[in-house]
Structure 1
């Protein structure tokens, strides 16, 4: 009896199996690469808030580009972070500062069409900022969030499959 076939379901459930992840990546729809002036390492995410664009570097000078909504001018932040967690069908929980500004917010919103995080959430660093989907796609291209980066659900699902936990994130003006 081989041990590896017995461990495959356990590794898959634990998120440690690599073959299904590779198979999922290979099944992603092709996305056009564009030339960019940045020369960051492949896998690095660069958000340019003035452009309202997120770039996933694929090679020095090459990237996939996605439209995003950025933070309101009073909520924007700049600097470096990293992908600390990835969540499918996330639950949204308002931060204490959101609740302070609007005490009528629900305690949480589970997965579904009313969830402000949309279908995927990519947490950044140790804080409350994320790259996530949205239940309001009309906001993409605007400065509308509390500091997070919103994407169309189909785009955040694509990015979710391409980026890894630990990836560097740079937020530039």
Structure 2
């Protein structure tokens, strides 16, 4: 009965959330794990990101992950949140593809999309995308890409300092 009540609550929450954020593809789901609410859990193999919302519940978003040679696993934290971010390719990106610009301001061509959340170490981020067809694939240089509506939804729910756990 307790599980049925949780599932019913999840469906009701999802309905309310969907009405408030048209275009967002996140869904409330049962989530088993020992994580505090506000924790972001990335399941790389499933190409999904979860924002833990309570005991046994989370919002689930579909994402793109790093190419196999660019994937990483472990823990980090959200160190900075940026609206309409400027993209600056890393030196290794520019070495692999010299035609990349030194930087790219906000706009439809920017690969970071509408929002970016920098992670505590390195150059990795959770961000939007200008390539929504990449969602569900291993396509990035190690970042986690989200649909722009989804990343804007997550951005409003997450605080600087939130823990990020990246699993296989």
1:158 to 2:153 alignment: yes
Q: Tell me, what secondary structure is at the counterpart of 1:100?
A: helix
Task: Give the whole-Å Cα distance in 2 for the aligned partners of 1:88 and 1:29.
Answer: 18
Aligned partners of 1:152 and 1:122: how far apart in 2? 14
Looking at structure 2, the residues matched to 161 and 36 of structure 1 have their Cα atoms a distance apart, in angstroms, of 21
Quote how far apart the aligned CAs of 1:104 are: 1.1
Give 3-state SS (helix, strand or coil) of 2:94's partner.
Answer: helix
Match of 2:165 in 1: 170
Worse-matched range after superposition: 120-129 or 28-37: 28-37
Match of 2:65 among 61, 66, 70: 70
Distance 1:39 1:29, change over 3 A: farther
TM-score under structure 1 length normalisation: 0.82
Please say if residues 46 and 169 of structure 1, whose CA atoms lie closer than 8 Å, have aligned partners that are also in contact: yes
1:27-67: CA deviation from partner (whole Å, max 9, x where unpaired): 95396421012130000000000000000000121100000
Aligned length: 147
The correspondence of residues 11-160 of structure 1 with structure 2, limited to 5 A, is: 29=21, 32-160=27-155
User: In structure 1, what is the Cα distance between the partners aligned to 2:110 and 2:21?
Assistant: 26
Q: Which runs of 4+ in 1 moved over 6 A?
A: none
**Structure 2, gaps ≥5 residues long:** 1-18
In the alignment, structure 1 segments of 5+ residues that lack a partner are 1-26
